[in-house]
Amino acid sequence: MSLTEQQKKQLRGLGHKLKPVIMVGNNGLTKALLDEFDRSLAHHELLKIKLTVGDREVRDQAIEALREHGHAELVQRVGNVALLFRKRKKNSAFESL
């Protein structure tokens, strides 16, 4: 699923008020963190993630790994925070997307 710029703009607006649900620290992407990420993404659809790992390159690699693992779309990345989206197949809160 590829989001259009208009859809990303709408999701950025909705994600602005969200607090980070997942926080990736020095331990990186552990199995427990990935399991919680899957559950949270299935429940919320739109997730804000805070990463406090290494430099920009390491953060980008972690975001990409999360994106691929969760089959999600990267909506926005600002500093240490990423906004990811994966639409539910049923009962999505984002039916218009």
| Residue-range definition of the domain harbouring residue 72 | 5-85
Q: Give the model's confidence band at 88: pLDDT under 50 very low, under 70 low, under 90 confident, else very high.
A: confident
92 part of a folded domain: no
Sign of the CA dihedral running 27, 30, 33, 34: positive
Tell me how many degrees the CA angle 17-20-2 measures, rounded to the nearest 5.
80
Flag whether 77 is in a domain: yes
pLDDT number for residue 17: 94
Does the pLDDT value for residue 1 go beyond 70?
A: no
Half-sphere exposure of 51 (CA within 13 A, CB side): 26
**In a domain? residue 95:** no
Please state, in angstroms and as integers, the Cα–Cα distance from residue 41 to each residue in 56, 78, 89, following that order: 23, 19, 12
pLDDT tens digits, residue range 16-66?
A: 999 999 999 988 899 999 999 999 999 999 999 999 988 899 999 999 999
Q: How far apart are the C-alpha atoms of 53 and 9, rounded to whole Å?
A: 27
Identify whether 22 is part of a domain. yes
Question: Is the full-model pTM beyond 0.85?
Answer: yes
